[in-house]
């Protein structure tokens, strides 16, 4: 049998393989609420403009609500023969209300319909990701506040570099996630224009009111160009790009949690709620959630690359290739929300081991830069000479198997005669972090200022 939607031109139905490659209903059923909202807005506009009789439009709008409730109740029989969510909904509407259903598609195409549905869906995901990021930022702010002055080693090359504060390290992630938030806010603003009314590609001769449907669906305005409206998927790509960068940040933090929770570091303990055990090694408490967050970026970046690749060679306007947009964005969005929730849970539950952090902060010659700076400040050495002298002292301490503050004054003076007892005051990690008062620096007073600033900005979000 040929198709109910376009059977006029067709004598035979599709091959089973054709149906298998063509049907998207197995996944685009997720767009049902958006599809029905879009159709209801379109129908209301058709009545308002006098394009369709008000009585038909009322039947259409009521019938669509029935379809939605059937879908929500799990009572809807989706059909692959009807290809996608748009035709499944319309066919059911026809079964419910009869011929009036056939008027719904006046001045519309599935091309502007799907573009509208997918924008609405992706806009919701931006909102969800923004809310997820706000929760994560709040959890990081709590961690930062608690340990604003706790010392820990700061690393470069994962080698001990200079002491920093726990609060400073947490706040570095707050900055990153806040930028991710900003990217989603930006993307949302740009995507919030309505494709509805672009019809197949060229617009329509019916006297439609695109402002009205745009407003009804919460869009800021109709899109300006009908070809662009049905062709564009860069709104989805922007979401995926922002999601990819956010996933990269999540992955870096996850990697730190994996390292920090190891027996060798012991910087943090993760809660039982976010850890797993081993079936053979009784002592194990594994950071599986962190590892999975670290890995999930693969799917999100994969989706971004996949959709870019789908889109890159497509001539204007719509091509069926674009149906491949949805599974990528669905999976990336689901993955991002899960990773954000898991990270927020882990950060909220995590306890930092203040003593282990402090112990590590003082090892590995972490205050060598402070010593060199002291030589510059107090003994007037050029920084390069101070660097050299300090290097010699580090070599000495290393040979003795001790840290810098464990060297005697005599040993220090053998390297540079200008060194006095006063140098020991800068070799302590507490003094070291307290001295880093420059804008954005690790000094607790700076960190507290950063926390207060973000608390203020997060208020009312
Ligand atoms: N399921 C299709 C999609 O997701 C809807 C648009 C179909 N348009 C068309 N001209 N075949 O892209």
Q: What is the pLDDT of residue 294?
A: 98
| Average pLDDT for 366-372 | 91
**Residue 417 structure tokens:** 């005669």
Q: Atom 4 of ligand 1 has which residue's CA nearest to it?
A: 323
Q: Which of 55, 69, 278, 363 is catalytic?
A: 278
Hunting for tokens 């197949």 — which residue is that? 200
Is the preceding peptide bond at 317 cis, omega within 30 degrees of 0? yes
- Kindly report, residue by residue over 376-414, the tens digit of the pLDDT: 999 999 999 999 999 999 999 999 999 899 999 999 999
Q: What is the mean pLDDT of the chain?
A: 95
- Kindly report, residue by residue over 124-158, the tens digit of the pLDDT: 999 999 999 999 999 999 999 999 999 999 999 99
Q: What is the pLDDT of residue 285?
A: 86
Is residue 204 within 8 A of residue 197, CB to CB? The reply is yes
Q: What is the pLDDT of residue 407?
A: 93
Evaluate if residue 189 carries a pLDDT over 70. Answer: yes
Q: What is the pLDDT of residue 363?
A: 87
**Catalytic site residue 157?**
yes
Q: How far away, in angstroms, is 320 Cα from ligand 1 center?
A: 6
- Kindly report, residue by residue over 172-185, the tens digit of the pLDDT: 999 999 999 999 99
Q: Atom 12 of ligand 1 has which residue's CA nearest to it?
A: 323
Q: What is the DSSP string of 53-84?
A: -HHHHHHHHHHHHHHHHHHHTT-----GGG-S
Of 279 and 164, the structure prediction assigns the larger pLDDT to 164
- In angstroms, rounded to a whole number, what is the distance separating the alpha carbons of residues 258 and 272? 14
**Catalytic site residue 366?**
no
Q: How far away, in angstroms, is 222 Cα from ligand 1 center?
A: 20
Q: What is the pLDDT of residue 2?
A: 67
Q: What is the pLDDT of residue 282?
A: 83
| Average pLDDT for 322-335 | 98
pTM for the structure as a whole: 0.94
Q: What is the pLDDT of residue 461?
A: 80
Long-range contacts of 204-211 (CB under 8 A, 24+ apart): 204/107, 204/108, 206/49, 206/51, 206/106, 206/107, 207/49, 207/50, 207/51, 208/45, 208/46, 208/49, 208/51, 208/107, 209/45, 209/48, 209/49
DSSP E strand stretches across 343-401: 351-352
Residue from 25, 85, 110 to probe ligand 1 pocket by mutation (most atoms less than 8 Å from CB): 110
Q: What is the pLDDT of residue 13?
A: 85
Q: How far away, in angstroms, is 313 Cα from ligand 1 center?
A: 18
Residue from 114, 115, 314 to probe ligand 1 pocket by mutation (most atoms less than 8 Å from CB): 114
| Average pLDDT for 95-122 | 98
| Average pLDDT for 424-434 | 91
Q: What is the pLDDT of residue 1?
A: 55
Evaluate if residue 298 carries a pLDDT over 60. Answer: yes
- In angstroms, rounded to a whole number, what is the distance separating the alpha carbons of residues 163 and 432? 7
Q: What is the pLDDT of residue 283?
A: 84
Evaluate if residue 227 carries a pLDDT over 70. Answer: yes
- Helices 166-191 & 110-146, crossing angle to 10 degrees? 160
What ipTM score was computed for the predicted complex, to two decimals? 0.97
Kindly indicate the confidence band of residue 14, based on its pLDDT and cuts at 50, 70 and 90: confident
Q: Please give all residues whose beta carbon lies within 6 A of any atom in ligand 1, as ranges.
A: 24, 28, 84, 110-111, 114, 318, 320, 322-323
Q: How far away, in angstroms, is 42 Cα from ligand 1 center?
A: 18
- Kindly report, residue by residue over 267-285, the tens digit of the pLDDT: 999 998 998 888 888 888 8
Q: What is the pLDDT of residue 5?
A: 77
Which one, of 91, 50, 29, 44, lies nearest residue 217 by Cα?
Answer: 44
């Amino acid at each position: 049998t040929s198709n109910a939607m376009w059977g006029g031109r067709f004598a035979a139905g599709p091959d089973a393989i054709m149906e298998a490659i063509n049907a998207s209903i197995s996944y685009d059923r997720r767009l049902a609420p958006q599809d029905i909202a879009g159709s209801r807005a379109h129908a209301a506009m058709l009545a308002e403009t006098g394009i369709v009789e008000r009585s038909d439009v009322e039947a259409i709008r009521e019938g669509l609500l029935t379809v939605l409730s059937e879908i929500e109740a799990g009572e809807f029989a989706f059909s692959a023969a009807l290809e996608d969510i748009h035709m499944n909904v319309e066919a059911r509407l026809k079964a419910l209300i009869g011929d009036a259903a056939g008027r719904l598609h006046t001045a519309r195409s599935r091309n502007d319909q799907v573009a509208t549905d997918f924008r609405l869906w992706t806009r919701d995901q931006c909102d969800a990701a923004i809310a997820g990021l706000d929760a994560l930022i709040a959890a990081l702010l709590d961690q930062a506040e608690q340990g604003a002055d706790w010392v820990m080693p700061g690393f470069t090359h994962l080698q001990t570099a200079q002491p920093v504060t726990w609060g400073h390290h947490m706040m570095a992630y707050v900055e990153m996630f806040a930028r991710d938030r900003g990217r989603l806010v930006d993307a949302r603003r740009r995507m919030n224009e309505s494709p509805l009314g672009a019809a197949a590609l060229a617009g329509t001769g019916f006297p439609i009111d695109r402002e009205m449907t745009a407003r009804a669906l919460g869009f800021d305005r109709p899109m300006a160009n009908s070809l662009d409206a049905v062709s564009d998927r860069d709104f989805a790509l922007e979401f995926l790009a922002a999601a990819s960068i956010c996933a990269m940040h999540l992955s870096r933090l996850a990697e730190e949690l994996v390292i920090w929770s190891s027996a060798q570091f012991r910087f943090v303990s993760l809660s039982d709620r976010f850890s797993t055990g081993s079936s053979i090694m009784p002592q194990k408490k594994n950071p599986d959630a962190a590892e999975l967050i670290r890995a999930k970026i693969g799917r999100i970046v994969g989706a971004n690359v996949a959709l870019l690749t789908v889109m890159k060679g497509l001539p204007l306007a719509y091509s069926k290739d674009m149906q491949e947009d949805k599974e990528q964005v669905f999976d990336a969005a689901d993955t991002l929300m899960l990773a954000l929730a898991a990270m927020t849970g882990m950060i909220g539950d995590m306890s930092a081991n203040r003593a282990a952090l402090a112990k590590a902060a003082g090892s590995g010659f972490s205050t060598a830069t402070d010593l060199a700076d002291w030589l510059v400040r107090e003994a007037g050495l050029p920084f390069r000479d101070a660097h050299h002298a300090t290097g010699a002292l580090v070599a000495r301490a290393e040979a003795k198997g001790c840290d810098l503050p464990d060297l005697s004054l005599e040993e220090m003076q053998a390297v540079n005669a200008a060194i006095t007892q006063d140098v020991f005051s800068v070799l302590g990690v507490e003094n070291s972090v307290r001295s880093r008062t420059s804008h954005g620096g690790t000094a607790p007073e700076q960190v507290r200022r950063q926390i207060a600033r973000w608390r203020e900005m997060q208020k009312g979000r």
